[in-house]
Amino acid sequence: MGERDIRIGDAEREQALRLLGEHLGEGRLDVDEYGDRSARVTAARTRGDLLALFGDLPAPHPRFTQVSPLPSAEPAVRRGSGLDPRFAAALVPAVGILCVVLFFVVRSPFIFLLVPAVALLVGRMGNRR
């Protein structure tokens, strides 16, 4: 995709309308041309659409900010968690099984509170960056 194919927003349209007003004030455009180009500005979708309206006019022309590349589609590597994601995913079910075994040994239902506690800890450690 080229620079001219990048979609624009309201801020770019407003800038283009303001610049067309300057050209109207300088006498480079008559009222009919200004009206026609203004209508085309409001319908513009890409940078190229706007630039085409200024092709026969001297400066000022619309200026666009630099576009930053889109973030990678790959998930970000989490730093600082200290837990391998595969280990973290297996830890909570393993604690659940351990709690069942411990329940028969200790005979206290409070042992099952370990499962959500470990799940919360693993979740918190996974959110660190």
For the stretch 2-60, pLDDT in tens is 889 999 999 999 999 999 999 999 999 999 999 999 999 999 999 999 999 999 999 99
Q: Could you tell me which residues are beta bridge partners of residue 7?
A: 46
pTM: 0.53
Assign residue 76 a region (left: φ > 0; alpha: ψ between -120 and 50; beta: otherwise).
beta
Q: How many residues does the chain have?
A: 129
Q: Hunting for tokens 């200026």 — which residue is that?
A: 63
Higher pLDDT, 104 or 75: 104
Domain ranges of the chain: 3-52, 85-126
* Token couple for 103: 């329940």
Which amino acid, one-letter code, is at 123? G
Distance of CA 33 to the CA centre of its chain: 38
pLDDT tens for 64-80 read: 887 666 666 555 554 55
Sequence-ordered list of residues with C-beta below 8 angstroms from that of 28, at least 6 positions apart, any chain:
57, 58
Query: What distance in Å separates the CA atoms of residue 114 and residue 98, rounded to the nearest whole number?
Result: 9
| Of the candidates 127, 128, 123, 129, the residue with the CA atom closest to the CA atom of residue 89 | 123
